[in-house]
Structure 1
Amino acid sequence: MPPTPRVRSQGLQALIDRHIGDDPERIASYERARANAEVAQAIYDLRTEAGLSQRALAERVGTTASVICRLEDADYDGHSLSMLRRVAAALGRRVTIVFTPEPASASGTP
């Protein structure tokens, strides 16, 4: 079943608009941070749904618990596709990549 899209509250959207505005650098930075947080949360959710500790998942992946801890950190910016595939395989999943259009203000297109 596809994930349910998250709906932002008006207050959160106003806060984002106020602090990010139309600045392309801030928009790009926000989008990177949001994507990192989504990946980290997905790994955490899948691991906990499987009833695994970070150490147990690390053993399945063939890495250390500290690597799994970093992957579950929303501030971590080093997710590699090969590691995500290893984690997914260890959890009986696969990685799917979807390319979506950027908002007009972020891509510089009208």
Structure 2
Amino acid sequence: MKRKLTNVEEFFKDDLDTPELREAYRDVLDEELGEVLKSLRQNRGLPQRVLAERMGLNRSRVAQIEAVEGLSLSLETLVRYASALGYRVTLGFADEAGEVARFPLSEAPGKESEWEVAPLSGMKLVHFGERAA
């Protein structure tokens, strides 16, 4: 049976019908996020200590973030982590038709934050400009 992918949880909802399977699924997502964060840091060639200094945290907190030891990471933490590495985080929403609205949550040098909304049928691309000061 071919399923349309709307989001990961929707895709697997029939397969996640027990609490044990749902917990295992969330554990895998946590581990994946931690690995992505660790990989981003390593690709920049930074030890945890240096990243921690940039974030204003101690090294053990950076280790916890990368291990995602049962932590529910906030968007603020993800933005601070990414910004300290010179990346930006983009929040995106997609509907079932695949139309997307996204917003960069952290600034890239020389870029202003704005919403970008992919065009709906017959409509123009919409940009919402500068943030209010």
C-alpha distance after superposition, 1:69-88 (max 9, x if no partner): 00111533231111111001
Which gives a bigger RCO, structure 1 or 2 (Cα 8 Å, sep 6+)?
1
In structure 2, the gaps of 5 or more residues are 1-14, 95-133
Determine which structure has the larger helix proportion and give its number: 1
Q: Supply the AA of the counterpart residue of 2:24.
A: Y
- Structure with higher Rg: it is 2
Task: Give the TM-score normalised by the residue count of structure 2.
Answer: 0.53
Cα pair distance change 1:26/1:96, threshold 3 Å: farther
Aligned residues: 81
- Tell me if structure 2 keeps the 8 A contact 1:40–1:74: yes
Counterpart of 1:71 in structure 2 is 65
Unaligned 5+ segments in structure 1 are: 1-20, 101-110
The answer to whether the 8 Å contact 1:37/1:74 transfers is: yes
* 8 A contact 1:40–1:71 mirrored in 2: yes
Q: What's the CA shift for 1:99?
A: 6.2
Identity, in percent, stands at: 35
